[in-house]
């Protein structure tokens, strides 16, 4: 085990040796609490070194780690804890209330101290971060326990729950795999993330999401120096890149948008020349945004596409992207993509249909926890759909048009809101936008646009901007200005929270 830094967060740093030692102790703590191989341990935590250590410790104990979106409460949180049959839940002190309110009777809590940099990032006062006295504290348990004598023979990959943007979150339960296939998966992540052993890499996105979680796991396993941001802030990211001489970042498109909205003098204040690779995914990136990032940071922007269920299926570098503007990449080695129509017939290049993905052979198959019927329903001859619409070009590059359940049918015409959103996000003064369908007696559906914008933006200027760039039937009928849109930290937008009120009491479903 190496004594060089493994994880940094704010002013704190732990070496690879320290992280492995603490993980081995946590494994023994879990076994002493009755955790057995195959049991689930859940983390309800913000980005923290202890988040990673808890997951590594769970794996050493043979448990299945389950990262939980710490924003969840009520029914979503209860569903995850019950559905996963959680045995132990690691919880930051300030997040205890929602967990305690829905904790199953046979689950136990390990309380985790909120580190200073996390408390500062979220403006958490002393009253919210003081130990509750109701549960054992992680640091106390670590101080009182020896490392595990014998790690579990079978160390399970974590189970991630979908975001629940369109319904109840589903737990993605992957099949057991072999060390050889695990290594192949890690090497694929290294290649398409642009990550090399020993790099100084930065994760500004929440660790409870699949990509940052996989990134952290592979970075640690390959000896990288990993910096975890407690919370994404555009200027703080630039400052961290400069002071930490960061080589590599894993990002999402909304972060690009916020970086580009910084005043030019702020953007030019920081030296980002150390960057060698920046990889992004999670949502399609508006072409103008991506071109602007390539102009700023150079041709080091990498992109991949897949799902939590499939892993990486397509990828492209900056040169390939600029030659196929708007693409999310071409199928990687061993993977494949098909576009099918509503009758499951393959479509030729250029025609939009549902995107079906075939992961590389080393990627483990999966089911949904307690919902194998939903898993079977999404497969066609070994290809699975994660709900996206798109098309392939003549060179085999994939383009996404929108989510299947976001498509609007107005007067018999298919409209993809993502096209309108991409148009508006490039409008000066607009910082966030969501376009979706609302009921219309004549056409079935009409378009509504909710956006975050500067004071000078009006309904008329929004409509005029769309009309100048797109067909008239794509101009939103309704424009609503919001202080913020309901997004996850990953950038995923909960459109149903905006859309559902329009459809209530209509007697219609969407």
> CA-CA distances (angstroms) from residue 127 to 47, 114, 131, 441?
20, 12, 9, 53
Q: The domain at 182-404 falls in which architecture?
A: 3-Layer(aba) Sandwich (3.40)
264 by Cβ neighbours in 10 Å (0-12 / 13-18 / 19+) ranks as exposed
Please state which CATH number belongs to domain 407-503: 3.30.300.30
The tens-digit pLDDT sequence of the chain (510 residues) is: 456 678 999 999 999 999 999 999 999 999 999 999 999 999 999 999 999 999 999 999 999 999 999 988 888 899 999 999 999 999 999 999 999 999 999 999 999 999 999 999 999 999 999 999 999 999 999 999 999 988 887 767 778 887 654 557 788 888 877 888 888 888 888 899 999 988 999 999 999 988 898 889 889 888 899 999 999 999 999 999 999 999 999 998 889 988 998 999 999 999 999 999 999 986 778 888 899 999 999 999 999 999 888 989 999 999 999 999 999 999 999 999 999 998 999 999 999 999 999 999 988 888 888 888 888 888 999 999 988 889 999 999 999 988 788 888 887 778 888 889 989 988 999 999 999 999 887 778 899 999 999 988 999 999 999 999 888 889 999 999 999 998 877 677 888 889 889 988 765 555
Q: DSSP class of residue 387?
A: S
CA atoms within 13 A on the CB side of 98: 21
Backbone angles phi, psi at 416, to 5 degrees: -105, 110
CA end-to-end span of the chain: 54
Q: What fold is seen in the domain 14-156? A: Rossmann fold (3.40.50)
pLDDT value, residue 95: 97
Chain-centroid distance of CA 291 in Å reads 22
Longest dimension (CA), the chain: 70
Angle made by CA atoms 265, 268, 270, in degrees to the nearest 5: 120
**338: β partners:** 356
Q: CB under 8 Å to 149, separation ≥6 — which residues?
A: 28
Burial (CB < 10 A; 0-12, 13-18, 19+), residue 136, is: middle
Per-residue pLDDT at 230? 95
pLDDT of residue 140: 98
pTM of the model: 0.83
Burial of 368-380, coded b for 16+ CB within 10 Å and e otherwise, reads: bbeeeeebeeeee
Two domains, one topology: 182-404 and 407-503 = no
Distance of CA 405 to the CA centre of its chain: 19
CB atoms within 10 A of CB 428: 10
* pLDDT at res. 65: 94
Residue 377 in tokens: 């329903």
Output the pLDDT for position 448.
95
* Strand 301-307 to 64-67 pairing: unpaired
Angle at 396 between CA 393 and CA 399, to 5 degrees: 55
Q: How far is CA 126 from CA 50, 113, 396, in A?
A: 20, 12, 55
Residue 81 confidence (pLDDT): 96
In the chain, domain spans = 14-156, 182-404, 407-503
Q: How many of the other CB atoms lie within 10 Å of CB of 263?
A: 9
């Amino acid at each position: 085990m190496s004594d060089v830094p493994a994880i940094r967060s704010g002013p704190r740093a732990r070496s690879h040796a320290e992280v492995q030692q603490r993980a081995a102790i946590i494994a023994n703590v879990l076994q002493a609490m009755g955790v057995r191989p195959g049991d689930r341990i859940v983390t309800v935590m913000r980005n923290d070194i202890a988040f990673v250590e808890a997951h590594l410790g769970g794996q050493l104990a043979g448990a299945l780690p389950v990262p939980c979106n710490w924003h969840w409460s009520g029914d979503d949180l209860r569903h995850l804890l019950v559905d996963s049959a959680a045995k132990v839940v690691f919880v930051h002190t300030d997040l205890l209330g929602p967990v305690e309110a829905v904790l199953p009777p046979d689950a136990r809590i390990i309380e985790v101290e909120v580190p200073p940099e996390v408390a500062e990032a979220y403006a958490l006062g002393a009253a919210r971060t003081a130990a509750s006295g109701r549960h054992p504290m992680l640091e106390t348990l670590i101080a009182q326990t020896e490392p595990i004598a014998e790690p579990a023979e079978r160390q399970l990959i974590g189970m991630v729950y979908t975001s629940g943007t369109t319904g109840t979150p589903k737990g993605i339960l992957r099949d057991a795999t072999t060390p050889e296939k695990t290594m192949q998966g890690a090497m694929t992540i290294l290649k398409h993330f642009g990550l090399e052993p020993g790099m100084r890499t930065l994760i500004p996105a929440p660790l409870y999401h699949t990509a940052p979680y996989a990134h952290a796991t592979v970075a640690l396993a390959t000896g990288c120096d990993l910096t975890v941001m407690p919370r994404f802030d555009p200027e703080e990211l630039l400052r961290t890149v400069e002071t930490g001489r960061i080589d590599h970042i894993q990002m999402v498109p909304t972060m690009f948008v916020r970086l580009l909205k910084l005043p030019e003098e702020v953007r030019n204040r920081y030296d980002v020349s150390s960057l060698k690779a920046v990889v992004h995914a999670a949502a399609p990136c508006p072409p103008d945004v991506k071109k602007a990032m390539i102009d700023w940071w150079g041709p080091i922007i990498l992109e991949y596409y897949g799902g939590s269920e499939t892993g990486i299926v397509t990828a492209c570098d900056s040169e390939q992207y600029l030659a196929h503007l708007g693409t999310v990449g071409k199928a990687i080695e061993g993977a494949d993509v098909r576009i099918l129509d509503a009758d499951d017939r393959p479509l030729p290049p250029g025609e939009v249909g549902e995107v079906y993905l075939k992961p590389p052979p080393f990627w483990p198959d999966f089911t949904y926890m307690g919902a194998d019927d939903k898993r079977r329903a999404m497969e066609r001859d070994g290809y699975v759909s994660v709900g996206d619409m798109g098309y392939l070009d003549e060179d085999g590059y994939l383009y996404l048009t929108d989510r299947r359940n976001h498509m609007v049918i107005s007067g018999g015409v298919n409209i993809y809101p993502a096209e309108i959103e991409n148009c508006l996000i490039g409008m000066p003064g607009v910082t966030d936008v969501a376009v979706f369908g609302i009921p219309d007696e004549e056409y079935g559906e009409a378009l509504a646009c909710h956006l975050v914008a500067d004071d000078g933006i009006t309904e008329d200027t929004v409509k005029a901007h769309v009309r100048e760039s797109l067909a008239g039937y794509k101009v939103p009928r309704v424009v609503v200005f919001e202080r913020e849109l309901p997004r996850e930290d990953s950038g995923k937008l909960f459109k149903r929270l905006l859309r559902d009120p329009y459809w209530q009491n209509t007697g219609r479903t969407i």
